[in-house]
């Protein structure tokens, strides 16, 4: 078949394009803010299901204090282990300072919060 035999053309009207599928332009890339970074603040008051061996030992009552964990230099990989031994009123979160830091890259600017 020669190129002239292909007669069907595809017209795409930008006004009919679904949101987010529009092409062209200088997009801000990946939207603005909020979408990236660490997951913070989701208060989950569910039953703790230990993932690590140490977590299972703590929940079963075989480990009686944080001191026992640190005496054996065991890595604490679950935050719930610390919560298990300390009362909720002992630990508190406090945001001291958040600063936006901008870095110029070859593709534009990158903003991070420190």
- pLDDT at position 55: 92
pLDDT cut 90: percent of the chain above it: 13
- pLDDT at position 77: 92
DSSP 27-83: --SS-SSSSSS--------SPP---SHHHHHHHHTS---HHHHHHTT-----HHHHH
pLDDT in tens, 57-112: 998 999 888 899 999 999 999 988 888 888 777 777 788 888 888 888 888 888 88
Could you give the CA distance from residue 26 to residue 43 in angstroms, rounded to a whole number? 38
In terms of Cβ atoms closer than 10 Å to its own Cβ (0-12, 13-18, 19+), residue 76 is middle
- Name the band, by pLDDT with cuts 50, 70 and 90, for residue 22: low
- pLDDT at position 52: 92
Residue with tokens 């703590």: 58
Whether residue 29 contacts residue 108, with contact meaning beta carbons closer than 8 Å, is answered with: yes
């Amino acid at each position: 078949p020669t190129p002239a035999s292909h007669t069907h053309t595809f017209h795409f009207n930008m006004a009919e394009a679904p949101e987010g599928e529009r092409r062209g332009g200088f997009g801000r890339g990946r939207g603005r803010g909020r979408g990236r970074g660490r997951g913070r603040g989701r208060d989950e008051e569910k039953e703790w299901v230990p993932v690590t061996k140490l977590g299972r030992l703590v929940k079963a009552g075989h480990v009686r204090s944080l001191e026992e964990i640190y005496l054996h230099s065991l890595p604490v990989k679950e935050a719930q282990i610390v919560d298990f031994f300390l009362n909720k009123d002992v630990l508190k979160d406090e945001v001291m300072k958040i600063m936006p830091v901008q870095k110029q890259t070859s593709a534009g600017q990158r903003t991070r919060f420190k």
